[in-house]
Amino acid sequence: MVWSEVKGGTLAGAFILGIFTKRANAQGVIWGVILGVLVVGLTKTYTDISVYLYGAISVVTTVVAGYFISLFTSQKKNLNGLTYLTLDKKVLANKEQ
């Protein structure tokens, strides 16, 4: 297995979950990473897909699985300023000037 694509893809998926979603939590991200590695391993074993797609497969699997698992597990309630969607728009406007 090409570990650099798998590690990079699952890490990118974890960052996408943490930055761009309000629902992601630790359990969802951990299970998303585990399922991302598992799906890439199964893809490598049973298909002839190019090695260059392993990173994309692990990103998509991590994000989708992590998000759906996070929907069914508990989460931290106060996310103000922790995700892109909860940033204060006035602070962002002042930083751009």
CA distance 76 to 24: 9
72 close to 28: Cβ distance less than 8 angstroms: no
The SS3 of residue 25 is coil
Query: pLDDT, tens digit, for every residue of 25-46?
Result: 888 999 999 999 999 999 999 9
- Share of residues in the chain with pLDDT > 70 (%): 75
Query: What residue spans define the domains of the chain?
Result: 3-96
Confidence check: pLDDT of 6 > 90? no
3-state secondary structure string across 33-87: HHHHHHHHHHHHHHCCCCHHHHHHHHHHHHHHHHHHHHHCCCCCCCCCCCCHHHC
